Amino acid sequence: MGKRRPARRRTAASKKPKPGDSQAVNNAFVSALNHPTRRELLRIFLERDAPLSPKELAEHTGENLSTISYHVHVLADKFAIELVEEEPVRGSVAHFYRASALAKRTAWVRESLDLDLPKP
């Protein structure tokens, strides 16, 4: 008999929760906030409420740009932040993110970051 092919791995996109599934989104937020750097980044996004790039975040936190970029991508994959702008910069593209509406209105996320709830 021939050799069996190994089962294909799931792609990262298939692990992404659907925005309408509140339990899956809450689980995604929990896993996103499981790291102190991601908690700090999300706190910055929520406090500033302005588009920020990984480079700006790296300068603000003093962390390595590649580390910040990794954590920004995790936050984006978990619906905590969203890409809002792209800007060409010297042969490359700068990406700007903002806290998602879902992160802004999820009370327990704001509470876990010691932030006040938004006023209606």
Question: pLDDT confidence of 19, banded at 50, 70, 90?
Answer: low
Q: What is the pLDDT of residue 17?
A: 54
With 0.85 as the threshold, say if the pTM is over it. no
Give mean pLDDT, residues 31-60: 92
Q: What are phi and psi of 71, to 5 degrees?
A: -70, -35
Q: What is the pLDDT of residue 68?
A: 96
Percent of the chain with pLDDT over 90: 46
Average pLDDT, the chain: 82
| HEC letters along 33-57 | CCCHHHHHHHHHHHHHCCCECHHHH
11's CB contacts (< 8 A; 6+ apart) are: none
Among residues 81, 54, 59, the alpha carbon closest in space to that of 70 is found at 54
Question: pLDDT confidence of 103, banded at 50, 70, 90?
Answer: confident
The answer to whether residue 75 scores a pLDDT higher than 50 is: yes
Name the residue with higher pLDDT: 32 or 57.
Answer: 57
